[in-house]
């Protein structure tokens, strides 16, 4: 599949075809087309379309690869440079991507915590679910990858808002030990005291109403994986032990 970058409002996405879209662009956007280092608010991975809606994050996880990989993710530049995409831009990106090649799921996952922009997340998930982004089919699977701090960041339980809009949440919990959680996740000071509890509450609440709730941990991180697995099951979610991303 030939890969091109098309840009709208400074955000790139990959795909095929798009000649009409090209000629609808202004001259500056056409020139930008030659610049493959433009930030990607949407990128492909496996069979999904991933949305990178923010670079802000309430944690600085020890295992985060964004700095080591210089904000690149397998060929996509996820450095938004502080210019977060608005909903109109995201809607256009999602529709254009689908037109170029359908995807199995829409995933909120980039170099930043998606719930930092909960309103945008809900708007995009809602538009997809309702069929407002035709030809994207109504009800397409939506997944959220999160560190589980959305409740603290947004000042209240966010699970009721996600219900019916998100089919799957993957929560980066990483440990059953609150002290170890602090050393692994390195939350901002204002989230240190109540962060671990917030993540557990989020997983428990999500497991009750979201069709799939998965809590993840990384192998070889000095974590007691038996305790981790037991805790996740007690919360009603599914544990997943994953390998560290290759360096």
Residue 38 or residue 66: which is nearer to ligand SF4 going by CB?
66
Task: Report, in Å, the least distance between residue 32 CB and ligand SF4.
Answer: 26
Say if residues 12 and 40 touch (Cβ distance below 8 Å).
yes
Q: Which is nearer to ligand SF4, 33 or 64 (CB)?
A: 64
| Whole-angstrom distance, CA of residue 141 vs CA of residue 137 | 10
Residues forming the site for ligand SF4 (CB under 6 A):
57, 59-61, 64, 66, 111-113, 147
Secondary structure (DSSP) of 149-175:
-HHHHTTS--HHHHTTT-SEEEEE---
| CB nearer ligand SF4, residue 22 or residue 69 | 69
- Nearest-approach distance from CB 236 to ligand SF4, in angstroms: 22
Q: Which lies closer to ligand SF4 via its Cβ, residue 164 or residue 190?
A: 190
Find the shortest distance in angstroms from Cβ 63 to ligand SF4.
Answer: 7
Closest distance of CB 232 from ligand SF4, Å: 18
Tally of CB atoms within 10 A around 66: 18
Strand 141-146: give its sheet, edge to edge: 42-45, 48-51, 105-108, 141-146, 168-172, 212-218, 238-242
């Amino acid at each position: 599949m030939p890969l091109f970058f098309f840009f709208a409002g400074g955000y790139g996405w990959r795909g095929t075809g798009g000649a009409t879209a090209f000629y609808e662009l202004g001259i500056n956007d056409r020139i930008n087309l030659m610049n493959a280092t433009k930030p990607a608010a949407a990128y492909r991975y496996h069979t999904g379309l991933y949305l990178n809606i923010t670079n802000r994050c309430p944690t600085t996880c020890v295992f985060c690869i964004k700095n080591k990989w210089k904000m690149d993710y397998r060929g996509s530049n996820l450095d938004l440079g502080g210019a977060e995409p608005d909903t109109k831009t995201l809607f256009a990106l999602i529709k254009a991507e689908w037109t170029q090649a359908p995807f199995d799921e829409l995933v909120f996952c980039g170099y930043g915590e998606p719930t930092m922009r909960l309103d945008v997340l809900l708007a995009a998930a809602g538009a997809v679910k309702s069929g407002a982004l035709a030809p994207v089919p109504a009800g397409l699977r939506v997944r959220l990858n999160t560190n589980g701090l959305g409740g603290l960041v947004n000042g209240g339980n966010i699970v009721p808002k996600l219900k019916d809009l998100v089919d799957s949440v993957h929560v980066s919990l990483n440990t059953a030990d609150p002290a170890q959680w602090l050393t692994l996740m390195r939350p901002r000071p204002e989230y240190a005291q109540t962060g671990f509890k917030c993540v557990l509450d989020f997983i428990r609440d999500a497991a009750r109403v979201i069709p799939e709730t998965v809590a993840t941990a990384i192998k070889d991180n000095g974590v007691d994986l038996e305790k981790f697995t037991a805790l996740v099951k007690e919360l009603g979610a599914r544990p997943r032990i994953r390998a560290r991303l290759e360096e």
